[in-house]
Homo-oligomer: A and B are copies of this chain.
């Protein structure tokens, strides 16, 4: 399933992309060698991440120019808060970590840096600036899920992999891709790479990707 031409163009000009989607943490999910302590540490940080990432998607609702943009962004906020967070709560509960403990997780600097950068992209710019910073997480997890579902050699982290490989999650990536393509067409036209804004959108996308690499590094360092 395609994630749209804007995402494809941004990703293909981001040299650090494979360092994110083929990170050692990702490989450990696929072959089951990731230590369970690292996984739980990651889940706790990711719970805090999702809270701030949901805030960034809610910010997108406030910056939409059309009802279609609003609906998609609002649906994403709801999906994140009521579904993706629930997965984290369920897996952590099975490991004996309740939601109060999750919420009280001490946020690591790598985590904080990422979400606050995304929020600032939205506050300082327009919807496109925000989407360029939101896309690496949404679509990167889509690519990782698909890749691991096809290549995994262990079922240890199958629940996690299946979440992001699922038709539902792939549809989210597809819809966000359409949102981006539409937002680009409406603001900078059908040949965006010729726009003076393209370089700064590319820079935001690359910075968010770099911060994803930092997040995986942090995941390996409980």
Contacts and interface: CB of A to CB of B under 8 A. Distances in A.
A186 B123 CA distance: 19
Interface in A32-67: 51, 54-56, 58-59, 61-67
Contacts of A200: 65
Interface in A110-134: 110, 112-113, 116-117, 119-120, 123-126, 129
Contact of A61 (B54, B64, B70, B82): B54
Interface residues of A, number: 49
Nearest to A60: B58
A213 B58 CA distance: 29
Contacts of A78: 74-75, 77-78
A211 interface: yes
Contacts of A71: 81-82
A197 interface: yes
Interface string A62-102: 11111100110111011001100100000000000001000
